[in-house]
Amino acid sequence: MEAATVPTRPWEQLVGKIASEILVAPKTGADPHYQGSWPEVPRKITNYLERNVLAKPWADAIALLSSIMIARRFEVTSVLSKIVTLHSRFTSLFPFLGLERMEKWDPARHLPMYLKADVLPDDPQTVRQRFWVTYNSASKLMAQWLGSLPEPQRQIYQKFTLPPISRLFVEGLTREKEVTQQQQQARKAETDAVVPRFAAIRAEAHFRYNRIARLRRAYHQALRTLSGKGPDFPVTFSYEEGGDKELGIPTHERLWFQIWDRRSFVQTHAEAYSRSPVVASHCHTAAFADDSNHLFLEFVRGERLIGNAPAEGFWFEELFKLGMFGLNGSLGSTAEVKAKQAWLASWGYGSTPFFAEVGGLLTWPVKEGRFMVSAQRRTTGVLVPVEAIYAAATIGLLAVDLFTTTGARINEVMQIRLTDDCIVRLKMPPPPGSKDPLPRIRYVLRLVPKGEKTNTPQDYFIGTETKRLLVRVAQMLGEHYQLQPGEPLPSVEFNASNGRAHRFAEGPYLFQYAGRHLSANTITSCMRFLLHGMVFKTREGKLVVLKPHLLRHAFATHAVQVEKIPVDVVGAWLHQKNLTVTDYYSKPTESMIAEASDLFLSRVAAQVNVSEAVLRSPDELQRLYDEARGKAGTLADVIGGQCVSHGYCAAKFACVGCAGKVPDPAKRYQIEKHKQWASLQVDYATLEGLRPEAERMKQLVRDCDNELAEMDLIESYQRDECREVSVRIEPAG
């Protein structure tokens, strides 16, 4: 039997299923006279149409809309969002209105009925509003396309378009402002819950990553101690946690673990297993053969060494005990699933908040999963997939850092790859009058932002800590793939679930694991795992779940403190909008990299010498640049940290408290001096009766205190990161 042939072009799979005219629509990717002039409809959309829309009265209109939008280079996610909204509402409206053909659809009559809730009265106002906005924009786009065609073609395609409607018919019915205000208030309420703890989120992510890294080091140290000795399992070991040696704070907790192999675990818990696996474990057969008898770690308990408080242990214990990873939250008996979903709801989560979609990331590899899930039910401890949570914590930490310091969207972060056109090293002259004559180095991620209809990347400036975390993820992946020094990361296809996947080629993407590019959901799951247990609530007491876009909103709320001009010369220039700058990119030499940890970046970084580039630019650009030096973020040194804002800053020296700066503990003295000066100004303004000025200086003192506190957190997790573990192996028996 011959295998069915797959259409070579996505549109071909709809032949005979939609009107033939749409398959050759002019000024679209299907236009036979101008093939290649416009992009074709991707298979992701044609698959959706084939599975859901075909045979519906509106199938031809939706298919034509898809082709027109793709030809106008709308993002695939935008196209899908629009056609899904139209299809879902038409599916409900047509039967309710008694319509069987698209020709019977009269938006001037039916849309007002829907917006007034005369039909489908149970639909929420937000759903009605979304349908109106979607229909209105889609019909306008189709009308514009139709108007661009010659008269004979207009007559052919008129019947396939969505009839437009004048706003006069819906005036006062859309409640657009009310719905928008409600949505904005909801987002603002969630943002308000997060913003005050912005620094704490980053710090907690670092502390938790450090804790997992120490757990991993202790586990490997214990394994090395046992190597070659042929130990009888289980093997018990412990190490101490907590405290701060530099500050003289003693460790406050001892953590106890056991290392098992499959055989010893089943034999020790024989009463909880049936006879067959127990016998197989003694005979070393089936799942207990030598090549399947893998080792695993059990966290037994935490023991408090100081005080009477409960042991801290690990924040993820309950997640593993209850089986909340992967799809396990929706698996089990009816009662079990109900209990799991109730637990997830108590945290504000959906049904599968920790689903990583990649085996061996966040949870057990597929080949070990069934045994480990079964084993977890038979012990009171927590079975820990060490490598899986270490990888997830490393990825989650970088994600948290990027979202909270750059404000980048998750689909932009997914583009980061170890190539010389993505990670760029900028070499800049020192600010005028600076004591330090050395050039300033800045790193840039070049990514294609949402809404960019061409594949022209723009710049996302990053600080030293972000650069360090990029290196750390690359090193983790190097260990995971067992790469030799200098060997590049594997090239993987861009995750197909992303609506923009068709725009990006295969590459060594940094957010990858087990040979797969990570989806937005997987990255979010890693971030959510790292921050689970941090409770955020709105003023009304509603739980707030951290999501990448929420962190982006929080970042934007901070950034609003920095006023920017509409057209920013320096910002536009660093975004490569002037092609003369692009010509001066060149790869860096090894001598430009000072630290050994930068070797990953040195292989992929490009360099721009700003002073040379400007000298070769037109006189006008040079004059504008000279005027901007010292006032624009990435071209200037700032008080107490590193500026990652590449726009013009109207508050020239008001860097304390600015969200566009990443605090640097090495510059603590600058903030302390600034605080001293501001405190004196408070006293002076108060004596002079300048109350507004006194309040302004008081706020500056508070901003200094906030930044000093954040520096304390940074120093604390940096010290915590360097702390070694001392493993104590307990004697057998």
pLDDT, the chain, mean = 79
166 and 263 share a domain? no
Residue 447 pLDDT > 80, yes or no? Answer: yes
pLDDT digits (tens, 9 = 90+) for 306-319: 777 778 899 999 99
Average pLDDT over residues 704-729: 77
Confidence of residue 472 (pLDDT cuts 50, 70, 90): very high
Write the DSSP string, 495-558.
Answer: PTTSTTGGGS--B-BSSEETTEEPPHHHHHHHHHHHHTT---B-TT--B----HHHHHHHHHHH
The sign of the torsion formed by the CA atoms of 567, 570, 574, 580 equals: positive
Q: Is residue 394 part of a domain?
A: yes
Domain boundary among 174, 193, 215: 174
* Residues 170 and 206 occupy one common structural domain: no
Q: Are residues 254 and 189 in the same domain?
A: yes
- Rounded distance, CA 356 to CA 328, Å? 12
158 shares a domain with 95: yes
Based on the fold, state whether residues 22 and 135 are members of the same structural domain: yes
Q: Looking at the structure, do residues 352 and 230 belong to the same domain, yes or no?
A: yes
Q: Which helix (H) or strand (E) holds 716?
A: helix 691-722
CB 617 within 8 A of CB 628: no
pLDDT at 229: 60
Answer whether residue 447 is part of any domain: no
Residues 101 and 190 placed together within one structural domain of the fold: no
pTM: 0.73
Asked if residue 650 is part of any domain, the answer here is no
Q: What's residue 338's pLDDT?
A: 87
Residues 168 and 232 in one domain: no
**3-class DSSP state of 567:** coil
The gap from C-alpha 89 to its chain's centroid, in whole angstroms, comes to 31
Q: What is the pLDDT of residues 146-170, one digit of tens each?
A: 999 999 999 999 999 999 988 888 8
Same domain for 333 and 271: yes
DSSP-assigned letters across all residues of 365-411: -HHHHHHHHHHHTT-SSEEE-HHHHHHHHHHHHHHHHHHHHT---HH
DSSP state of 119: S
What is the rounded average pLDDT of the residues 222-227?
A: 84
- Residue 30 pLDDT level (bands cut at 50, 70, 90): confident
Does an H or E element contain 361, and which? none
Best CA proximity match to 441, nearest among 657, 595, 615: 595
Q: Which of 534, 495, 443 is nearest to 207 (CA)?
A: 534
pLDDT band of 8, cuts 50, 70, 90: low
Per cent of the chain over pLDDT 90 is 38
Token couple for 403 = 């979202």
Q: How confident is the model at residue 352 (pLDDT cuts 50, 70, 90)?
A: confident
**What CA–CA distance (Å, rounded) separates 660 from 649?**
10
78, burial (CB in 10 Å: exposed 0-12, middle 13-18, buried 19+): middle
| Predicted pLDDT of residue 250 | 66
Boundary of a domain, candidates 510, 530, 560? 560
Answer whether 559's CB lies under 8 Å from 409's CB: no
192 lies in the same domain as 317: yes
Model confidence at 57, pLDDT cuts 50, 70, 90, reads very high
Least confident among 56-65, 345-354, 421-430: 421-430
**Predicted local confidence at residue 276, as pLDDT:** 94
- Give 502's pLDDT tier (boundaries 50, 70, 90): confident
Would residue 470 count as lying in a domain? no
Q: Is the pLDDT of residue 703 over 70?
A: yes
- Residues 148, 220, single domain; the answer is no
Q: Look up residue 577 and give its DSSP letter.
A: -
From 40-44, 427-431, 622-626, the region with the lowest mean pLDDT = 622-626
- Can you tell me the mean pLDDT for 408-419? 90
537 pairs with which residues across the strands? 543
Same domain, 53 and 195: no
The answer to the question of residue 155 being in a domain is: yes
State the total domains in the chain: 3
Domain with 247 in it: 185-414+521-560
Q: Per the domain annotation, does 505 fall within a domain?
A: no
Cα–Cα distance measured from residue 350 to residue 693, given in angstroms and rounded to the nearest whole number: 48
- Where b means 16+ CB within 10 Å and e means fewer, 412-440 reads bbbbbbbbbebbbbbbbbeeeeeeeeeeb
Domain closes at, from 174, 208, 223? 174
3-state secondary structure 12-70: HHHCCCCCCCHHHCCCCCCCHHHECCECCCCHHHHHHHHHHHCCCCCHHHHHHHHHHHH
CB 634 within 8 A of CB 572: no
Q: Residue 179: what pLDDT? A: 60
